[in-house]
Amino acid sequence: MNETEKQLMPQYGDNQKITDGNYDRSLAVKCVNGTFVGKKAENIISYKGIPFVGQQPVGELRWKAPVDVTPDDGVYEAYYYGKSPVQASGDPAALYPTGEDCLYLNLWKADDAATKKPVIVWIYGGAFDVGGTTDPQYDCHRLIQEHPEVIVITITYRVSFFGFFHLSHLPDGKDYADAQNLGLLDQLKALKWVHENIAGFGGDPDNVTIWGESAGAASCSLLPLLKGSHQYFHRVILQSGAPAQTRSAEQAIAVTDRVMEALGCKTVADLMKRSAEEITNAWTPLFGFYQVLGIRTMPERDGIHLPLNTWEAYANGAAKDIEFLMGCNKDEMNTFLGVTGVDVWNAWAGGRLEEKLAQLTEDEKKKVESYCHDIPGESYEATVRLFSQIMFIAPQIRLSEEQTKAGGKSYTFYYTVESSLPLIKAGHASELSVVFAHPELQDFTGRAYDEKFCKTMRKMWVQFAKTGNPSLSAAESPDGKAKQWPLYDLKDKQVMVLDEHDIHPAKEADVKIVDWERTYFLTNYYMP
């Protein structure tokens, strides 16, 4: 049993209905869909496995939009996480039981009588293909110990072929018009539950920040584009994710058709007869994230839930009333390189580069080739740098640009802290152990980072959730030095450089985050 499995084992279990009246009233909170009883450890109360839907998406509800909760006077344990969503193996969340019945949330709060606390809702990443709240990284006990003035919630959503699977083109697919964006609809339903119930936990429904990394950050950038979403949150924190992480209907259909062929299915009715395990077994060798670096699963620009052009929506002010804190890591794709190894990376990147170049004009191809030619080093360096730009860095800067042009606010960061592990550098997801206060989890870091830096970064995140501005006075800052974080602006394009030993603002031109001539235009082609 490895360290991750050891951490997960004590959390296995099934929450039960409490019928004998024997429970601690001080740990019970009445919600629309029941009274939920948490567990207290030290001075932190956690509530795990609270359902935010009226019926789980199983049986006839497979590939259907989440169902609203119904009033319930019952009393229920909230001691254990719900299931992780169905997915291929590889992610820590998949070590926990998985199932289609996975729509639950978890909440951590300090044991005090304070009310109207700012609320932060975490949405996990995993390329929209893997992930779950059961990952030990996302346990928020320490974060709340350090910041008892906020409440943090983690929510589960459907991923992979149950969360983002285009079906409406099939002969009997007309009743599945939401299937391509179910993961986002799950997130929105969870946010509705939070809005309606958080006051009972001491939270402020009018001060909610959504927060995510990678696919979770992309989700947080797309949620403002969903109809009716703005009533549920007012601030957004994005770590390495933007509206470029979407696909067209044609791209989505191509994925569905390959899976259907592998399964020998022609209709939704055929698919409904297949078990989750059978579909997973067909999916994994084709698109598995940890198996073949699939990265084909994404929300769809369907013209129903999401606009056909997400950049245009931001440019037109779709989120100008929402405050953003967002940014990217210096060496995003180095994490993928470090995890897969050089040979797997080179094979994957070579195929994807060919696909990307085929989308471009001749002039654009020359720009990309020129960019790659100017990058020195090993065989993988050029494609690692290029795909860091395509997938994360250029889209993050473009989102700051579009949000600012539209009259909105963006506080933008550039994270530069390097891992001690080979190849990873300041790679994708390497900041997660920092923001969640888990220095012992070193899968991407290889070491514990400077404690004052970590505390300062967490403090800025919480400060933003509380006030809409991540700046810290000298008195507020853990290192005793003021951190004045400027808004991103169109002239100087100011960012906050999150350096382990020198957090400081800088002009984009001085740190050269994006290549404005040779990579920025690639955001027009989206991610896949």
DSSP notation for 331-382? TTTHHHHHHH-HHHHHHHHHHHHHHHHHTS-HHHHHHHHHHHHT--SSTTHH
3-state SS track over 65-85 = CCCCCCCCCCEEECECCCCEC
Determine the pLDDT at residue 166: 98
- State the DSSP code for 12: -
First to last CA, the chain: 36
Output the CA–CA distances (angstroms, integers) from residue 350 to 18, 160, 355, in the order listed: 56, 24, 9
Determine the pLDDT at residue 10: 60
Domain tally, the chain = 1
Host domain of residue 226:
3-525
Q: Residue 420 sits in a domain of what CATH number?
A: 3.40.50.1820
Nearest CA among 448, 47, 428, 378 for reference residue 213: 428
Q: How far is it, in rounded angstroms, from Cα 221 to Cα 316?
A: 15
User: Token pair of 425, please?
Assistant: 């550098």
- State the DSSP code for 162: H
Pairing mode, if any, of strands 117-123 and 151-155?
Answer: parallel
Nearest CA among 249, 250, 247, 280 for reference residue 84: 280
Q: How far is it, in rounded angstroms, from Cα 519 to Cα 17?
A: 55
Determine the pLDDT at residue 434: 98
Could you read off the pLDDT tens digit of each residue along the chain, which spans 528 residues?
566 556 555 666 899 999 999 999 999 999 999 999 999 999 999 999 999 999 999 999 999 999 999 999 999 999 999 999 999 999 999 999 999 999 999 999 999 999 999 999 999 999 999 999 999 999 999 999 999 999 999 999 999 999 999 999 999 999 999 999 999 999 999 999 999 999 999 999 999 999 999 999 999 999 999 999 999 999 999 999 999 999 999 999 999 999 999 999 999 999 999 999 999 999 999 999 999 999 999 999 999 999 999 999 999 999 999 999 999 999 999 999 999 999 999 999 999 999 999 999 999 999 999 999 999 999 899 999 999 999 999 999 999 999 999 999 999 999 999 999 999 999 999 999 999 999 999 999 999 999 999 999 999 999 999 999 999 999 999 999 999 999 999 999 999 999 999 999 999 999 999 999 999 999 999 976
Nearest CA among 438, 452, 445 for reference residue 483: 452
CA atoms within 13 A on the CB side of 363: 2
Q: How far is it, in rounded angstroms, from Cα 186 to Cα 163?
A: 9
3-state secondary structure of 420: coil
Determine the pLDDT at residue 13: 83
User: Token pair of 358, please?
Assistant: 């085929």
Q: How far is it, in rounded angstroms, from Cα 312 to Cα 392?
A: 18
H helices within 440-501, ranges in order?
451-467
CB atoms within 10 A of CB 303: 10
Which tens digits make up the pLDDT trace of 381-437? Answer: 999 999 999 999 999 999 999 999 999 999 999 999 999 999 999 999 999 999 999
Catalytic residue among 46, 84, 214, 430: 214
Regarding pTM above 0.95, the answer is: yes
User: Token pair of 4, please?
Assistant: 């991750």
Nearest CA among 222, 187, 248, 188 for reference residue 395: 222
Nearest CA among 340, 287, 320, 491 for reference residue 399: 320
Determine the pLDDT at residue 527: 78
User: Is 214 a catalytic site residue?
Assistant: yes
Do 167 and 31 contact (CB within 8 A), yes or no? no
Residues 6+ apart with CB under 8 A from 214: 125, 126, 127, 239, 240, 241, 428, 429
- State the DSSP code for 443: T
Determine the pLDDT at residue 1: 53
